[in-house]
Amino acid sequence: MRAGVWALPAYGVLLGLSTLTHQPPVEDFEAYSRYVTTGTFLLSHLGASVFGAGLAILGAATVTARLRLRPAGFVLTTIANVFLAAAFGSAAFVQPGIGRAHLAGTPGMAEINADTAYGPALFATALSASFLLVVAAIVLGVSIARSDRRLREPGIAYGVLLSLFTVSGFAFPVGQAWFGFTFAAATAVLALRLGWRGAGAPDRSAGAAVDGNRTSRLQAPA
């Protein structure tokens, strides 16, 4: 169970690696077709995005169990990543085939691509799942930050950096890899601090000390 928390830094590294390059705009269909038929495209989608979604769920489950958090953040993380894995998995299998057909001279591939790989169903799935991932990151990050004073900074970083990574994919793709690697560093700190504090419930030593003082005063002789 302790090792499961290291799934989050691994997830962050995969996020960074998978966004070091970005596919050309679909309007340049020739360049787009060449990119989506590369091994880099397939590996980034299957190895980083789909497998990474599994690591994200495992990491969120471990942190939730270790810190005895409310399950909302874990549930949202799971739902978001399941739908994102569906979107990336679809792209991994559909886009390369369309690209190869176009490069082989088959007519009409751009139109088929627009109706399948870039169709309304995939857009709705990807956009709603991305929004849900931002919500999940904030909810779980806040829960981590509130669970233990030593986890305040990693918890805040979790929520902020994963949200920025997601949003930057639409607004600032050049910086997306940086947010992924920074998220990996922040969750590595989280894993280390969880290791130092040991397994079990969140640290409530301050509250325990107050309760102990109150008990001592109540038991003190008149």
Tell me the C-alpha distance between 176 and 179, whole Å. 5
pLDDT at 216: 43
> What integer is the mean pLDDT of 118-123?
90
Q: Domain of residue 64: give its range.
A: 2-219
Q: How many domains does the chain have?
A: 1
pLDDT of 141-178, one tens digit each? 999 999 999 999 999 999 999 999 999 999 999 999 99
pLDDT at 197: 58
Maximum mean pLDDT: which of 8-17, 42-51, 115-124 = 8-17
Per-residue pLDDT, 3: 81
**Gap between the Cα atoms of 1 and 160, Å rounded:** 25
Amino acid at 176: Q
The pLDDT of 19-45, averaged and rounded, is: 94
Q: Is the pLDDT of residue 19 over 50?
A: yes
The confidence score (pLDDT) of residue 47 equals 87
What is the structure's pLDDT at 48? 87
Q: Is the pLDDT confidence value at 219 over 50?
A: no
